[in-house]
A and B are shown apart, each in its own frame.
Chain A
């Protein structure tokens, strides 16, 4: 097989390039591509080689993993608080959650942009962190529900907006959240001039 025809998943390659600082974007993704084509793919099946590639890309995405954990902690913390400490006035809790969420998203967008010197990277990092956080939230909330459900908890869930909201809200938030992260990214790009790669 011609090495040039062996390609890792295109989306993973594109994602990696967004995660890397502008200076390393071509060189590091090129190193990974070369290793994949010359060493990994000829020795492994397509699936195993792609898994290797994704594993390598994942190691560049650890910051996004940390941000996703922070966002998921915010989601799950709020859900657990509403479920186990019910209230009839959600407004103060909503204010705190919203402000913390907006601040976190601004920081994600800004920090990624400062690190990579690329606004697009800030936007992609925010979207990735939100998507991963939504997945973590779904698993964690399902776990809490299945392990602690009882009539009292079910009543508290209904009063706080229902089970559906817990699973759909983090998904709905991805688009507006990414927009907020974009604002952070744009602000950061104004503070630091772009450098040539």
Chain B
């Protein structure tokens, strides 16, 4: 099994999957913020996207620019088979960790 993904990496990968063909930087940022319910910096999302792409878990392609972006293009991300596998591994690892665990009454 490859190195497990961190929580933020999982959030970014899941955002890419949820957004389907519309996964570009700002949309991913908003999706991650909504899911994690906290403000997230553009830099943090960008650094994670670059890292995941370097690891081969994401692929990207350039889209066209719009007026609101001062004509600057969007970079769209999509998840690859390695990314899907990494997410499944991360989920299984968490499930294994929690399997059979019952919190004591006073902490429930």
Q: Decide if A and B are genuine partners.
A: yes
B binding-site residues for A, Cβ under 8 Å: 24-26, 29-30, 41-44, 46, 50, 62, 65-70, 72-75
Give CA–CA (A33, B69) in the complex, Å.
6
Contact status A30-B69, CB under 8 Å: yes
Most buried by B among A4, A27, A33, A55: A27
Expressed in whole angstroms, the minimum distance between the Cβ of B32 and any Cβ of chain A is 13
Interface size class of A (residues with CB under 8 A): 20 to 34
A60 CB–B CB distance under 8 Å = yes
Query: What would 14 A/B residue contacts be, using CB atoms closer than 8 Å?
Result: A26-B65, A27-B24, A27-B73, A29-B72, A30-B69, A30-B72, A31-B24, A31-B25, A32-B42, A34-B26, A34-B66, A34-B68, A35-B42, A56-B42
Q: Which one of B24, B50, B62, B68 lies within 8 Å of A38 (CB-CB)? A: B68
By secondary structure, the B interface counts as helix
Give CA–CA (A4, B66) in the complex, Å.
10
List the 9 closest pairs (A to B, CB-CB), nearest first: A30-B72, A31-B25, A59-B43, A30-B69, A27-B75, A26-B72, A31-B26, A34-B69, A59-B41
Q: Which one of A24, A55, A56, A59 lies within 8 Å of B50 (CB-CB)? A: A24
Contacts of A32 in B (CB 8 A): 42
Q: Which of A8-54 contact B (CB under 8 A)?
A: 24, 26-35, 37-39
By secondary structure, the A interface counts as helix
Most buried by A among B46, B66, B72, B75: B72
| Smallest Cβ-Cβ distance to A26: which chain B residue | B72
Give CA–CA (A55, B40) in the complex, Å.
12
Q: Which one of B30, B46, B68 lies within 8 Å of A28 (CB-CB)? A: B46
Contacts of A55 in B (CB 8 A): 41
Expressed in whole angstroms, the minimum distance between the Cβ of B34 and any Cβ of chain A is 12
Expressed in whole angstroms, the minimum distance between the Cβ of B71 and any Cβ of chain A is 8
A3 CB–B CB distance under 8 Å = yes
Contact status B25-A4, CB under 8 Å: no
Contacts of B70 in A (CB 8 A): 30, 33
Give CA–CA (A33, B26) in the complex, Å.
10
Expressed in whole angstroms, the minimum distance between the Cβ of B56 and any Cβ of chain A is 16
| Smallest Cβ-Cβ distance to A19: which chain B residue | B43
Expressed in whole angstroms, the minimum distance between the Cβ of B68 and any Cβ of chain A is 5
